Structure 1
Amino acid sequence: MAARIERLVTSGQFSLDGGTWDVDNNVWLVGDDHEVIVIDAAHDADAIAEAVGDRRLTAIVCTHAHNDHVNAAPLLAERTGAVIWLHPDDLPLWHQAHPDRDPDAWLTDGQVIEAAGADLTVLHTPGHAPGAVCLYDPGLGALFSGDTLFQGGPGATGRSYSHFPTIIDSIRDRLLVLPPETKVHTGHGDPTTIGAEAPQLDEWIKRGH
């Protein structure tokens, strides 16, 4: 059975630099009827565990460590035995949310995470956060972009640990080179495609300066 993609939307709060905002997050599940990977365990471990059901949860992959993307990860891992993966450059952000627990394993650029026939290649795409990653599966024609790329532009870079020129470089060099039909599954909001976003690069750069 081929891997499939499922989306769960959870709600909670994002906090950074002394501010707090209400947010809705996309939690992505990639797998089949037997095993599954969770991308970004946001806000509600109960709801995510219910979506996983009786399948084996092999990994919880964090696209970055802002609290709204990782706040349910330790509890979900405790319940399921899954391994929490994070890029090491985001450890300072992780510790803002979880000061007493480290991730279980470190993501590296080019690493492939496998589950249920899916092969998710890790692309290190700093800018929104130092350790931000995207996950690309050519077989599924899918990119999981976290908060690096959205419908209509790059992720926010106005807060600590973020940098606008870096996110532009990441998107241009790592993401816009993917096939234009690649579907982009974002950390918040609606999906898009590489082909829909690529023509807007110059406009993003103008707006960002």
Structure 2
Amino acid sequence: MAARVEHLVTSGTFSLDGGTWEVENNVWIVGDGAEAVVIDAAHDPDAILAALDGRTLRAVVCTHAHDDHIGAAPALAAATGARILLHPDDLPLWKLTHPDHHPDGELADGQTLTIAGTDLTVLHTPGHAPGAVSLHAPDLGTVFTGDTLFAGGPGATGRSFSHFPTIIDSIRDRLLTLPPETVVRTGHGESTTIGAEAPHLEEWIRRGH
């Protein structure tokens, strides 16, 4: 059976720099009827476990280490035996949420994760966070961008560990070079396509200055 993409929305809070906000997060499950990976274990490990429905969880892949994207990762890993994978540049952020639990493995630019016969290529796309990554699955015609690229523009860069020129570079050089029909599955909100977002790059740059 070919890999498929499943979508779960979980709710909770995001806290950084002394503020806390209510948020809804997209959790993405990629796999088949036997095995899967979870992209961003947000808020609710029980809901994610229920969605897995007994399948073997191979990895919990973190697009970045803001607390709303990794809050459920240790509990989900403990329940399933899956490894938590994070880009090492986001370890300082990770430790703000889980100081006593280290990720099990590192993500690196160009690395390939294979699940249910489908390759996910890691693209290092910093800016929203230093170790932010996107995951490109060409066979599925999709890219999982975390909080780097949304429907309507780049992720936020107004808080600690973020940098606007860097996120623009990441989007221009790593994401907008993908085929225009590629579906962009985001960390929050609605999906979009590369083709829908690409014409707005210059407008985002003007807005950001």
So what's the TM-score if we normalise by structure 1?
Answer: 1.00
Instruction: Give, in angstroms, the shift of residue 118 of structure 1.
Output: 1.6
Give, in whole Å, the separation in 1 of the partners of 2:114 and 2:54.
Answer: 19
1:121-200 to structure 2, matched below 5 A, reads 121-200=121-200
Corresponding position of 1:6: 6
Instruction: Report the counterpart of residue 207 of structure 1 in structure 2.
Output: 207
Q: Could you say which residue in structure 1 is the equivalent of 2:97? A: 97
The RMSD of aligned alpha carbons is: 0.3
1:59-98 paired onto structure 2 within 5 Å: 59-98=59-98
Give the corresponding residue for 2:48: 48
Question: Normalized against structure 2, the TM-score is what?
Answer: 1.00
Map of 2:34 onto structure 1: 34
Whichever residue aligns with residue 45 of structure 1, its letter is P
Aligned to 2:116: 116
Letter in structure 2 aligned against 1:168: I
SS at match of 1:108: coil
Identity %: 73
Query: What displacement does 1:74 show?
Result: 0.1
Q: Could you tell me which runs of 5 or more consecutive residues in structure 2 were left unpaired when the two chains were aligned.
A: none
Shift of 1:188: 0.2
Count of residue correspondences:
209
- How many Å separate the matches in 1 of 2:80 and 2:113? 18
SS at match of 2:189: coil
1:124-161 per-position Cα deviation (integer Å, ceiling 9, x unaligned): 00000000000001100000000000000000000000
Paired with 1:146 and 1:39, the residues of 2 have a C-alpha distance of 9
Partner Cα distance (1:205, 1:3) in 2:
36
State the distance in 2 between where 1:11 and 1:64 align: 17
Measured after TM superposition, the shift of residue 165 of structure 1 is 0.1
- Could you list the per-position Cα deviations for residues 87-141 of structure 1 after superposition, in whole angstroms to 9, with x for gaps in the alignment? 0000000000001011000000000011112210000000000000000011000
Deviations 1:186-208 (A, max 9, x none): 00000000000000000000000
Uncovered stretches (5+) of structure 1, i.e. residues with no partner: none
